[in-house]
Amino acid sequence: METNKIPNKIVKGNLKRLNLQRVQGIALHHMAHPNADIKTVEGWHINQGYNAIGYNFWVGFDGTIYEGRGLTLGAHTLGHNETTIGIGFQGDYSKDVVMPVEQFNAGIDIISFVKAKVPSIVKIGGHKDYMATACPGQYFPLEEMISGKKRSVEMIYNYVDDNMPEWARVPVQWAVDKGIVKGDGNGLNLDDKDLKYITYIYRAFKVKEG
Ligand SMILES: [Zn+2]
C-alpha cells in the first residue's frame, strides 16, 4: 500500500505532535459532498482556519490514499483528536450510493496500515461512534469495512470464452442461441449475478423439457 502526498499541500506553521501511545481509535468520515476532491476539502479546512487538512489520511473514489496530517495531531473529531486517527472518504454516504470497490478496498488498506503503526488502537468506528453526528452517513459500509474483508473487483463477461466460469458457459451460450441474451453491440456485458440468473433460467427450461 502506498500513501500519496497531497499536490501542493498546504501546511501553515508546524503540525502538533500526536502522542501515539494515547491513540486508541480510528474514526472514519465522509465528506457529505458528492464529489469534492482532496484539494477542495483541504481548501474548506484552510478557510475555516485550520493549519492543514484536518484528516490524518484521506481516500478518493479511485482508491488513492493521501497523507493529510499523517501521524501528527488531526482535527476531525471534536474532543477525540488526541486519541483517534481520522480517515476521510470522498463522497456523500448519507445518500443511497454504493462505495466504489477501489475506495472500499483502499479503506481496508489504510486501516490496516494505521493499526500496524499504532498498536494501541482497539476501536475502529465511524465519526458517529465518538460523538453525536450522522457522519460517515448511513450508506457508508461501516461494519463491512471494519470486518476487514476486501470486496472482489467485479468481472464483466462479453463473450462465452475461457474467461467465463466453466459452469456458466453452456447456459449462457444457450441463452444467446435462444435470443434471451443479446448483448449491447460491444459484447454481452454480463456480471457474475447475470451468469447466475441465466444459469437458473437454463435449468428451469431444462427441468420443464424433462
Ligand atoms: Zn466526520
What cell numbers appear for 2 in the block?
502506498
**What amino acid occupies position 201?**
I
Strand partners, 17: 72
Look up the CATH architecture of domain 4-147: 3-Layer(aba) Sandwich (3.40)
CA 107 to ligand 1 center in whole angstroms: 15
Strand partners, 132: none
Neighbours of ion ligand 1 (CB under 5 A): 29, 127, 135
Q: Cell 485550520 identifies what position?
A: 50
Q: How far apart are CA 81 and CA 29, in angstroms?
A: 13
Domain locations in the chain?
4-147, 166-209
CA 88 to ligand 1 center in whole angstroms: 7
CA 194 to ligand 1 center in whole angstroms: 37
Please give the pLDDT value at position 31.
98
Backbone angles phi, psi at 4, to 5 degrees: -110, 145
The answer to whether the CB of 92 falls within 8 A of the CB of 30 is yes
What cell numbers appear for 8 in the block?
501542493
Q: How far apart are CA 47 and CA 41, in angstroms?
A: 10
CA 33 to ligand 1 center in whole angstroms: 12
The answer to whether the CB of 129 falls within 8 A of the CB of 171 is no
Write the CA distances from 180 to 120, 176, 183, integer angstroms: 56, 6, 10
Please give the pLDDT value at position 155.
84
**What amino acid occupies position 110?**
I
Contact partners, residue 178, CB within 8 Å, separation at least 6: none
Q: What is the dihedral of CA 171, 177, 180, 185, to 10 degrees?
A: 110
Q: What is the pLDDT along the chain (210 residues), one digit of tens a residue?
A: 889 999 999 999 999 999 999 999 999 999 999 999 999 999 999 999 999 999 999 999 999 999 999 999 999 999 999 999 999 999 999 999 999 999 999 999 999 999 999 999 999 999 999 999 999 999 999 999 999 999 988 789 999 999 899 999 999 999 999 999 998 888 999 999 999 999 999 999 988 776
- Look up residue 21 and give its DSSP letter: G
Residue 88 CA, distance from chain mean position = 10
